[in-house]
Structure 1
Amino acid sequence: MKKMIMILLLGSLTLSLAACGNESAGPQQPTSTAQGQTTDSKGLTETPYQSIYKDSVFVGDSITEGLSFHDVLKEGNVLAGAGKTAEFALEDINELTERNPKQVFIQLGSDDILWPTDNPKEYSIQNYVKLIGLIKEKLPQTQITLLTVTPVTAEAVKQEPRYNNISDYNQGLKELAEKENIGFVDLSPLFTSGSDALYDSDGIHFKPEYYTKLLDLLKDQVK
């Protein structure tokens, strides 16, 4: 009787081990990612915004640079830097051409209106025209959209009165977009009551929350 019990136990154990072996040898289940996330061609995780704007490039100054600084978009989708003006952006045309985006969003002007010249707006718009012309030449299939310069807080205006010229500068951008037959988006809807909470301590740059609101506003511009 004892011998029979031992045989039954050994048989049961053998069947269990075989089942485990077959289970481990089977296909692996895909690893799930957080809700709304996808993976790119290299298997790297993408946020919804990175996926939506994967074929876009944002050209601009330090305010635009916040998109990648705060990891809202990947660095490859942002071509910006502190102190960038429309004139300096002309130097990036080869890099932009190499990236070959479907959409280019341009947000320059925060530094342009501070440029030490007799008429900063006129000087900046002239360089904007050159930049747009080069993009049309190098990337004829690319959609171009101009974004308005973001306002600053009252305290920032007090520190730098030339920021009072932002509204006039933005009007110039709107007229330029109409003349060049390109896209134009007014960002003023983002700055309603309570929007001061979006600003960083200097009253000019922004916290990460601003950039998600920005990208939500621009979704309809992406083909």
Structure 2
Amino acid sequence: MENEIKKIMDEQFQKEKALKVERYRRLNQFARKGQILFVGSSLMEQFPIDEMQRQIDIPLEIYNRGIGGYVTTELLQNIDACILELEPKYIFINIGTNDISGPEYNKEELLDNYGKILDIVKEKLPDTKVTLLSYYPTNPEFGEKLPYMKEVLGYRSNARIKQANEDVKAFAEERGLEWIYVNDGLMDEKGYLKEEFAIDGMHFFANGYKVILENMLPILKELR
């Protein structure tokens, strides 16, 4: 019975992700070309940049095409709707935290998929500048408060995130791309995601995103 319920839930989640892709395809018809794009998984999808950008002075608009639950293979499969159709001038990517959040994490597979995504962007959008964002810290103590989060927070440990950040940073440098660290101010004295920012130990309330945006502002304000 439990396996059947999990199967149904997984199928429903896949349908929800497919629906988001279709919504983006239709929404992209109304987007302005040559702007800024945020893309990735739930940590990007939940970034309330549409509202926040109204409070800041930047020269270009920011579009968000994150999809919760996405791994690098899914972004690769739907790169048209999530990236190419918008023809952005600048792209900020945060993808891969779901890749590292399980027992079968494979660094080489993550970087290989990331490379394929970037190769397509380079081919299809040669004048677009791509910036990779650091992965954010988590708070494992939420695993005790929210038992359903214990397993995923065990895999998505801060040690694994730190190593993944080092790997992706080196990967970006090899490709001549910019990787930026946006985590200043997010962590407590233990190195955990601050409790006041955390919904479940890994997702953020708006005040956490405000910190990330402030860390990005020096770059965003210079884009033309």
TM-score range normalised by the length of the shorter chain:
0.5 to 0.7
Q: CA RMSD in A?
A: 2.5
Amino acid at match of 2:67: G
CA contact (8 A) 2:35 2:62 kept: no
Distance 1:212 1:85 in 2: 25
TM-score calculated relative to the size of structure 2: 0.67
The equivalent position to 1:133 in structure 2, one of 119, 129, 146, is 119
Amino acid at match of 1:187: V
Q: By how many angstroms is 1:212 displaced?
A: 2.0
Secondary structure of 2:201's aligned partner: coil
The equivalent of 1:100 in structure 2 is 87
Q: Higher RCO, 1 or 2 (CA under 8 Å, sep at least 6)?
A: 2
1:173 equivalent to 2:168? Answer yes
The equivalent of 1:212 in structure 2 is 210
Q: By how many angstroms is 1:73 displaced?
A: 5.6
Q: By how many angstroms is 1:214 displaced?
A: 1.4
Distance 1:76 1:187 in 2: 17
Q: List gaps (5 residues or longer) in structure 1.
A: 1-53
Distance 1:207 1:70 in 2: 15
Q: Which has the larger radius of gyration?
A: 1
Q: By how many angstroms is 1:157 displaced?
A: 6.3
- Structure 2 vs 1, CA of residues 110 and 68 (structure 1 numbering), >3 Å: closer, same or farther? same
Deviations 1:161-189 (A, max 9, x none): 21221111111110111011111111231
Q: 1:17-32, aligned counterparts within 5 Å?
A: none
Secondary structure of 2:91's aligned partner: strand
1:80 equivalent to 2:59? Answer no
Q: By how many angstroms is 1:68 displaced?
A: 4.0
The equivalent of 2:137 in structure 1 is 151
CA contact (8 A) 2:134 2:181 kept: yes
The equivalent position to 1:121 in structure 2, one of 88, 91, 107, is 107
TM-score calculated relative to the size of structure 1: 0.68
- Structure 2 vs 1, CA of residues 134 and 113 (structure 1 numbering), >3 Å: closer, same or farther? same
The equivalent position to 1:67 in structure 2, one of 47, 53, 57, is 47
The equivalent position to 2:97 in structure 1, one of 110, 123, 136, is 110
Larger mean Cα displacement after TM superposition, 76-85 or 100-109: 76-85
Q: List gaps (5 residues or longer) in structure 2.
A: 1-33, 55-60, 145-149
Deviations 1:136-165 (A, max 9, x none): 111111111111111110224671321221
Amino acid at match of 1:146: L
CA contact (8 A) 2:94 2:135 kept: yes
The equivalent of 1:189 in structure 2 is 184
Q: By how many angstroms is 1:97 displaced?
A: 1.5
CA contact (8 A) 1:62 1:84 kept: yes
Distance 1:209 1:175 in 2: 30
Q: How many residues align?
A: 168
Deviations 1:27-74 (A, max 9, x none): xxxxxxxxxxxxxxxxxxxxxxxxxxx921111111111124884369
Q: By how many angstroms is 1:218 displaced?
A: 1.2
Larger mean Cα displacement after TM superposition, 81-90 or 213-222: 213-222
The equivalent of 2:12 in structure 1 is none
The equivalent of 2:156 in structure 1 is 163
Larger mean Cα displacement after TM superposition, 190-199 or 125-134: 190-199
Larger mean Cα displacement after TM superposition, 142-151 or 154-163: 154-163
CA contact (8 A) 1:157 1:163 kept: no
- Identity, in percent, stands at 27
Q: 1:35-54, aligned counterparts within 5 Å?
A: none
